[in-house]
Amino acid sequence: MAITLITGGVRSGKSRYALKMALSYKRRLFIATAVAFDDEMKKRIEKHKQERGNLFKTIEEPVYLSRALDGANNFDVCLIDCLTVWVSNLLFYKKEAQIEAFFKALDKITSDVVVVSNEVGLGIMPDNTLSRRYVDLLGEVNQKLADVSDRVVFMISGQPLNVKS
Amino acid sequence: MAITLITGGVRSGKSRYALKMALSYKRRLFIATAVAFDDEMKKRIEKHKQERGNLFKTIEEPVYLSRALDGANNFDVCLIDCLTVWVSNLLFYKKEAQIEAFFKALDKITSDVVVVSNEVGLGIMPDNTLSRRYVDLLGEVNQKLADVSDRVVFMISGQPLNVKS
Amino acid sequence: MAITLITGGVRSGKSRYALKMALSYKRRLFIATAVAFDDEMKKRIEKHKQERGNLFKTIEEPVYLSRALDGANNFDVCLIDCLTVWVSNLLFYKKEAQIEAFFKALDKITSDVVVVSNEVGLGIMPDNTLSRRYVDLLGEVNQKLADVSDRVVFMISGQPLNVKS
């Protein structure tokens, strides 16, 4: 199996590119980590759902990604969108231990995996401790994932830039 | 005609690189989208003007870029600096419809075009709705422009990185 | 002598990559610019110190980098970590003139130099003047350094991307 990390900024075309990649496979699983806390979030989630249509079997899993991955071996590709929200959820629910579980599950999976994440550390650092803790944790997760990935793509204005391949 | 998008962060050398590109042409048009709301802005605009000297015919157009482009066909190159401020102006004046008009005008232009924009979605997202709306809209405009561009350059510490060419 | 600039976001693996580069040399100098203002900073500094162990001779120099560089010629490599904090210190102590002194010292040095910095201008601009002044100044320093560097590396999720080489 091959792991691909698609990273980049907000509205850089990460999800669209990841979808396109996944559509080249036959049996497709989509793992959504977002939970609708408010109307804005609800809208974003709805928009993404419509873009996917019924091209994927979808699982919504905000916290226990490792469990969701356990059911992924019946599929040719598993698209996880996205780690950005997942790491935020882990902090909120105090479930950081799920990170290790995720990497263990990833190590055992047989289907190809495409993971969407964000770069969030390229602006001025926010002056609150929680945000800095979030930036640190997501950065560490991204580094770990890139390390075990076969391919890392950085999206800029919708264009893919190969960082590792 | 060829379209080039120069994107990157604040103080990454975008405008300087775009100027250098444009100077290789003979008849040059500069379309400035910035309006001086305060003294800081006024200073930045003045500084950029001095850097250009009289090497360009300059038009100041904060909103109706499509109209400014209509007069660009007498020139060999048209440099637009920048979309970042333009999209901000569109939100301020509620003129988002100008985006479609801009892409239509771009489609008909016969001179080469160099456009400067910014990546603004690579930091922690601001917790106000207007900023997020801005990040989304600019990201969509950047993606659309990159899609129709012949070349996309991402500036890092003043160095150009070819993303599409 | 050769200069390498390692830049990127927070938690993108810049320091780790710079350390790895420097370890290929025999006599190693580490110039740390960070001063522990608070407990969070103290922790980060301690963590970095432990990662280095006794593989380097370490100098702590928050402001006068040029002086620290004067003693670097007895070493094969000089690793400066990082400009991000240094420029912030310069603003705090009103010592911006040290920038010119730094580039002069860099011009005379005979050992190889590896410099760590940050890209901080790729998010939404903060609405306070000091932060914008900081972004501008660090951006200018990064551009100048990249210009005289033999190699510039942009780190994304721990992966190095060659921007200049």
With an 8 Å Cβ cutoff, is A160 touching chain C?
no
Contact list in B for residue A122 (CB cut-off 8 A) is 9, 122-123
Phi, psi angles (nearest 5°) of residue B97: -60, -20
- Whether C47 shows a pLDDT value over 90: the answer reads no
Model ipTM over 0.90: yes
Chains sharing 3 or more CB pairs under 8 A with chain B: A, C
User: Residues C52-78: pLDDT tens digits?
Assistant: 888 999 999 999 999 999 889 899 999
pLDDT at A159: 98
* Nearest-by-CA chain A residue for C121: A123
Closest CA to A155 of A109, A116, A110: A116
CA of C5 vs chain A CAs: smallest distance (Å)? 16
CA distance B115 to chain A (A): 13
Looking at the domain C3-164, which fold is it? Rossmann fold (3.40.50)
Q: Residue A161 and residue B146: Cβ atoms within 8 Å?
A: no
Residue C123 has its nearest CB partner, among A123, A136, A147, at A123
B119–A12 C-beta distance less than 8 A: yes
State the smallest CA–CA distance between residue B7 and chain A in angstroms: 8
Domain boundaries, chain B: 3-164
CA distance B122 to B145: 19
Told to judge if A101 belongs to the known catalytic residues of this protein, a careful annotator would answer no
User: b/e per residue, A125-164, with b = 16+ CB within 10 A?
Assistant: bbeeeebbebbebbbbbbbbbbeebebbbbbbbbbbbebb
The overall average pLDDT reported for chain A is 94
Cis peptide before A78 (omega within 30 of 0): no
The two three-digit tokens of residue A66, written as one number: 């490792």
Question: pLDDT by residue (tens digit) across A105-128?
Answer: 999 999 999 999 999 999 998 888
pLDDT digits (tens, 9 = 90+) for B61-96: 999 999 999 889 899 999 999 999 999 999 999 999
Annotated catalytic residue, options B16, B48, B57, B67: B48
Residues C130 and A126: their CA atoms lie apart, in Å, by: 14
Confidence (pLDDT) at B161: 98
Q: Is B120 on the interface with C (CB under 8 A)?
A: yes
* For residue B37, pLDDT beyond 80: no
pLDDT, residue C37, reads 77
Q: Which residue has the tokens 């250009």?
A: B52
Angle between helices A83-92 and A98-108 (to 10 degrees): 140
